[in-house]
Structure formats: C-alpha cells, structure tokens
Chain A
C-alpha cells in the first residue's frame, strides 16, 4: 500500500455471505443430484436453502448495499459493449462493484438458479423422490418441469464455469484480484475512487428470516393444505 491508494469497501457482509453460501450450496446440489439415492433428501434441502438465498438476494438488490443493487450493476448494451472493448487494453482498471458484463452474469445466474429451484419443486424422479409441489399439478407439467430441471442443471454448470473463468482471467491476465474483495469486502483502490454505501446487516438478517419463512410455508405448510 502506498500513498496513492487506499482501502475502499466493495461488498457488504450480507452479499459476501450470500455469495459463498450460494457457491457451496450450488456445488452440493449438483453433486447430490447426480449421486441420487439417499442423497436426494439433502438435494431437496439444499434446494430450499438456495431458494431462500435467491429470494433474499432479489430483495437485497433493491434495498441492500449500493454495489449489490440492481440499479447499480444492470447496465445498458452501450455500457456492456464499451466495457467489453476495454478488456483487451492495458489501461483496464478495476471498478467498485460489478462491471457491466459481470452485472449481466449475476442476473443470468440468478434467473437460471431461480428457474432450477422452482422447477425442482414440481419435479419427480419416478423412483422415490418427489418435489413438494408435484402433487399440485398435472403429470404432464411434472414431466416438463423434471426435464427442464435436468437440462438446466448443465446450463448452470456451464454458467458457473464461465463465471470462474472470467474471474481467473482477471486474476491472471489483468492482474486484478476479484476474489479477496469478495472474501474480505474491500480492495486496494486509487485514492481518487469514491466510497459506496454498505447495506445494513440487521436489515439483511430480517430479510433472510422472512425469505426462509416464505420458503418454509411453500415447501412444508402449503403442500399439506
């Protein structure tokens, strides 16, 4: 660290916890889904936890820390293209928060994970594992949901791989460390870079509790009714 740089906060604690918990649960869901058998019980529980996290993240995208808000990182096509063009240049600098390409990756991941969690609720492997809402819809719908759930799992695997490759590209080719800020919350930035507002951890805990309650109702209470 020298005089021209300072530590600035990038990601608030809720966003970081969300990110790493989601990463672990997605890997766990993929592995248990492929393993099958008695692992399917854990596969369902992991799915409910992911659904909870996603519901939290959508709310956090509206009321969370500045860099976590959709309004901060969902950018138009012009910003996307001009950013893509700048990647090859030497002068490429890290920004605080998601860049215009990474922002869309976040949206894409949230959408395909939400679709995965939602279709899982209506899926049936026709061996012994049935999603909690499969009884509520016709078997034609269950077949479509199960099929989508299977193929979308591979879409997620590909998207996660692309996400990791992009981070590795930053790390190796651009020499910009994106991993440490996502772990510790701050990065070393030029003194001229501005600070952004972090979200309230208490508010995050309340939102997470509400999301967990809603998912519990959806997968436990509602199916019995």
Chain B
C-alpha cells in the first residue's frame, strides 16, 4: 500500500464532515457515489479472493481492505438536504433516517474489521468477514436503493 495514498485518504475522510455541510447537493451525490464505486472495486477484489476466483495475495488484500475500511466512512456525510434528486437513493432514507443511519453504521463497523482480519491471514475468518460486509451492504441496497434511476 502506498503510504501517501492512505494518508491522503485519511486527511480527506477526516475533513469530510465539515466539507459536506456547505457542499451543494449535486456534489454530495457525486462524492458519495464515487466512494461507493471505489468500495465496489476494492471489495469485489476481496470477494474474488474469498471465493477462490483469484489467488489470495496478502498485500493486495490488505490494500483493498484498507481502502474499503476508509471509504466506508465517506457516504454517511453526503446524504444531506436535497440529495434525493438524480439518484437511486430512495426517499425512504430521509423518512427513516435513524434506521438508515443504523444500517450505515453497521456497514462501516463491519468494513473496518477487514484490515485486521486480512493481516491475521486466517482464511476462514476472512471469508466470514467478507460475507458479513456483503450482507451489511445488501441490507441498505434492498431497502433504500432503487433498482434503477
């Protein structure tokens, strides 16, 4: 993992809550989408390793896990006022905000377990954690994301 890339991501992530307060809705949608897309890319790689579709490579897995763990914290700050337009995010998010936030927090906490599990190198635990993150993602997709825009 490139240390500088992680550092940049950490700085960006830390600065996010403040930024998103004054950011226009369109850009909030843009950045949360970007975070999800990069999570999808990195988590897809982990999932492929967990299912033996590609060989388990500890360095690559660790990099993927760090990315997922950091990126997972991004979207929550970008569901502000007016961000329900031009998006697959359903209006129910803003009607059931406590439940949405709970599911989001669950996803973040599961994602943040990934780096340590990868470093420990136990394949059973790795597969289980990938499964748990997957389910935490799906919980919101099922309820709060439209199938098509």
Contacts and interface: CB of A to CB of B under 8 A. Distances in A.
B44 A38 contact: no
Interface in B113-149: 127, 130-132, 134-135, 137-138, 141, 147-149
A125 interface: yes
Counting chain B CB atoms within 10 Å of each CB, which of A128, A129, A144, A146 scores highest?
A: A128
A128 B46 contact: yes
A143 B141 contact: no
Interface in A7-64: 36-38, 40-41
- The dominant DSSP class at the A interface is helix
Given A38-B51, A38-B127, A38-B130, A130 B138 contact: no
A126 B138 contact: no
Contacts of A37: 131-132, 134-135, 138
A147 interface: yes
Contact of B43 (A41, A127, A144): A127
A143 B130 CA distance: 24
Interface residues of A, number: 17
Contacts of A150: 147
B66 interface: no
Contact of A127 (B127, B141, B147): B141
Contacts of B132: 37
B40 interface: yes
Interface string A106-142: 0000000000000000000111111000000000000
A41 B134 CA distance: 12
Nearest to B39: A127
Contacts of B135: 36-37
Counting chain B CB atoms within 10 Å of each CB, which of A40, A127, A150 scores highest?
A: A127
Contacts of B137: 127
Interface residues of B, number: 21
Contacts of B36: 126
Contacts of B127: 38
Nearest to A34: B142
Given A37-B132, A38-B50, A126-B40, A146 B147 contact: yes
Contacts of B138: 36-37, 125, 127
A38 B48 CA distance: 10
Contacts of B44: 128, 130
Nearest to A36: B138
A147 B147 contact: yes
Nearest to B48: A128
29 contacts: A37-B131, A38-B50, A38-B51, A38-B127, A38-B131, A40-B134, A41-B51, A125-B138, A125-B141, A126-B141, A127-B40, A127-B43, A127-B137, A127-B138, A127-B141, A128-B40, A128-B43, A128-B46, A128-B47, A128-B130, A129-B47, A143-B147, A143-B148, A143-B149, A144-B148, A146-B147, A146-B148, A150-B147, A151-B147
Given A37-B132, A128-B47, A146-B148, 7 more contacts: A37-B134, A127-B43, A128-B43, A128-B44, A128-B48, A150-B147, A151-B147
Interface of A: 36-38, 40-41, 125-130, 143-144, 146-147, 150-151
